[in-house]
Amino acid sequence: MQAARLHEYTDDMSEGLTVEEVDRPAVTGANDVLIEVTGAGWCQTDNHIIEGMWEPYVTQPLPMTLGHENAGIVAETGDEVHIVEEGDPVICHPVQTCGTCRACRLEETMYCENQSFNGLTTDGGFADYLLTGERSVIPLPEGVDPTDIAPHADAGITAYHAAKKAVHELNPGDYALIVGIGGLGHIGVQCVDAMSAAEIVAVDVKDEALSLAADGGADHIVNPTKGDVREFVDEVTDGHGVAQVLDFVGADETTAYAPDVTASGGDHHVIGYGGHVHAPAQSLVNGEFSFVGNIVGRYSELQELVALVERGDVELTTSRYDLEDINEVAERLEHGEIEGRAVITP
């Protein structure tokens, strides 16, 4: 089968991955599920993996097939798999969990002590086939296209995971600030809009992205290259600030908004990454706000997101690319040239 493989870390996205012939994975375990991949979302994290940014944090055996946002059709199952069968359309949670450690017993999918992460620590879905397990697949409702929904396997549940935490603290009359209306941010806007009665303020440097935010439910939009975000928030909220910030950029400039725009007792959720958090300790004490980290959501949260998709509350903006175009996709994302989410179709 064909697969896009990372052989060595590089900052040159034009030659990051090599499409080559590899053996098709075999079903050997009783709970194994082999997926014929119809769609695999490209993520900014894939660029970071190619750059070697994750190497200090996790063991990465190279060469490795990337791709952690995967969906497709069940091609084969192990003898003890019961929730899906051959021919079923599914979306795959990116983490394969053991089910027996304390984190798994507490349903904290991302904290599994024995996890494998598709495209990060084990072979992923930028290939014709993906080997995963029964604990990681979610059957799709009739009418939901696995190719279109693939990016929800990470982008969607990461945005939903952060939004779910934020809306728990949002009351009618409150404001939420969503920074960065890209592949995750445009999902985050829709999730907050679907699950809360808060007013949504969207921030992005591209007017096209702000139009996407408005279509998704944002009530106020601001481009920081054309207006001051802090002044805009102060005016919109009558000086009270926003109760929750969802930062899908995670740059030094965006985390720096927190002390000036977050209402007392509010939270600044850091979802995008690459920058740093720099804030005087006194500003946290004075405003009693918190920085909150976010990573991929739980298996159950992916089920909940699929329900929102089925209801029509959340829609992805996607563009499709062949496997041979994978390095072009990486370059375009690096330069901010992709609106919404790119989907690789092996």
Q: What is the mean pLDDT of the chain?
A: 95
Q: Are strands 262-270 and 290-293 parallel, antiparallel or unpaired?
A: parallel
Mean pLDDT, residues 168-183 taken together: 96
- pLDDT tens-digit profile of 161-173? 999 999 999 999 9
Distance of CA 345 to the CA centre of its chain: 18
Given its phi and psi angles, is residue 268 left (phi above 0), alpha (psi -120 to 50 degrees) or beta?
beta
CA angle (114 as vertex; 295, 36 as ends), nearest 5: 75
Please give the backbone phi and psi of residue 90, each rounded to the nearest 5 degrees, phi first.
Answer: -145, 160
Query: Are residue 141 and residue 21 in the same domain, yes or no?
Result: yes
199 and 249 housed in the same domain: yes
Question: Do 192 and 50 lie in a common domain?
Answer: no
Strand (E) or helix (H) holding 185: helix 185-195
Domain extent at residue 330: 2-154+296-345
Exposure string (b/e) for 242-255, b if CB count within 10 Å is 16 or more? bbbbbbbbbeeebb
Q: How far apart are CA 204 and CA 70, in angstroms?
A: 27
pLDDT of residue 109: 87
Instruction: Write out pLDDT tens, residues 118-132.
Output: 999 999 999 999 999
For residues 17 and 85, state if they share a domain: yes
**Number of domains, the chain:** 2
Preceding peptide of 94 cis, ω within 30°: no
How far apart CA 27 and CA 20 sit, in angstroms, is: 21
**pTM of the predicted structure, to 2 decimals:** 0.90
Which is nearest to 179 in space by CA: 262, 288, 235?
262
Q: Average pLDDT for residues 235-264, to the nearest whole number?
A: 97
* Residue pair 272/248 in contact by the 8 Å Cβ criterion: yes
Q: What is the CATH number of the domain that holds 109?
A: 3.90.180.10
CA distance 120 to 66: 7
Q: What is the pLDDT of residue 268?
A: 97
Residue 312: its H or E element: none
Comparing CA positions, the residue from 123, 136, 167, 140 lying closest to residue 1 is: 123
Residue 30 — pLDDT band, cuts 50, 70, 90?
very high
Handedness of CA 174, 179, 184, 190 (dihedral sign): positive
Same domain, 310 and 177: no
pLDDT at 274 over 90: no
Between CA 222 and CA 228 the distance in angstroms is: 8
Q: Does residue 160 register a pLDDT over 90? A: yes
158, containing H or E segment: helix 155-167
The domain boundary residue, chosen from 293, 317, 333: 293
Percent of the chain residues past pLDDT 90, beyond the cut: 91
Determine how β-strand 220-222 pairs with β-strand 199-203: parallel
Q: What is the mean pLDDT of residues 191-218?
A: 96
Six-digit token pair at 75?
């091609």
Q: In whole angstroms, give the CA distance from residue 260 to residue 231.
A: 9
In this structure, the answer to whether residues 132 and 272 fall within a common structural domain is no
Which of 249, 278, 293 finishes a domain? 293
**Confidence check: pLDDT of 86 > 90:** yes
Q: In the sheet that 242-247 helps form, which strands lie side by side, from edge to edge? A: 220-222, 199-203, 175-179, 242-247, 262-270, 290-293
164 and 263 co-located in one domain:
yes
- CATH label of the domain that carries residue 281: 3.40.50.720
226 and 186, same structural domain?
yes
**Do 174 and 281 share a domain, yes or no?**
yes
What integer pLDDT is reported at residue 340 of this predicted model?
A: 81
Q: What is the chain's alpha carbon radius of gyration, rounded to the nearest angstrom? A: 20
pLDDT of residue 26: 96
Pair 54, 166 in one domain? no
The answer to whether the peptide bond before residue 139 is cis (omega within 30 degrees of 0) is no
| 229 and 193 within one domain | yes
251 and 305 within one domain: no
Residue at a domain's end among 293, 308, 329: 293
